[in-house]
Amino acid sequence: MKATPLDIKDIIVFEPNIFGDDRGFFFESFNQKFFEEVVGRPVQFVQDNHSRSVKGVLRGLHYQIQQSQGKLVRVTQGEVFDVAVDLRKSSTTFGKWVGVHLSAENKKQLWIPEGFAHGFVVLSESAEFLYKTTDYWTPEHERSLAWDDATVAINWPLAEPTALSAKDKKAVNFENAEVFA
């Protein structure tokens, strides 16, 4: 497996070694020891989530202000553009974002540590999105950052999403967002 830090060094893309032939393919999708060596600390995942969305659906940008969640995300069907926004006020990359294309074809995974808002938009006809989290979902602590905030200025690969949840339609701008120390 190959691990590549992005422009925000705490965000890491994991690319598996894929072994394939005329029967199909095999790859190791997760290795705790390798993951912790790359991340540089012990990480315990406590919850796995699976979503399916159709083309143009934008989910996010979500985070939990308490019981913050680190996420290891991947796509098993279709393609998404996945984004993380640094909400750690003490970070040199506070307010910056990174984005990666994740697909069933490229089999990349993205590690987004605690302290980031996270979201994705579906680029294919549909997509199945899986992710592991380091803490449990707590709706009372969940927050949403506006996907189209002018300060963060994410370069989404679409003009406008076709569908947002009611929660995401009410998301706050960066200047009004609760952030991490």
The helix (H) or strand (E) run that includes residue 33 is helix 32-39
Look-up: residue for tokens 């003490």?
90
Two tokens, residue 90? 């003490």
**Strand arrangement of the beta sheet that strand 2-5 belongs to:** 2-5, 12-15, 109-112, 71-77, 126-133, 47-54
- For residue 95, the SS3 value is coil
Look-up: residue for tokens 């009611």?
166
Q: Residue 107, by phi and psi: left (phi above 0), alpha (psi -120 to 50) or beta?
A: left
Catalytic residue among 50, 101, 118, 131: 131
* CA dihedral sign, ordered 110, 118, 132, 113: positive
One DSSP character per residue, 79-91 reads EEEEEEEE-BTTS
Q: Active-site residue 118, yes or no? A: no
Two tokens, residue 179? 């952030």
Type of residue at 156: W
Q: Active-site residue 63, yes or no? A: no
What amino acid positions are annotated as catalytic residues? Answer: 62, 131
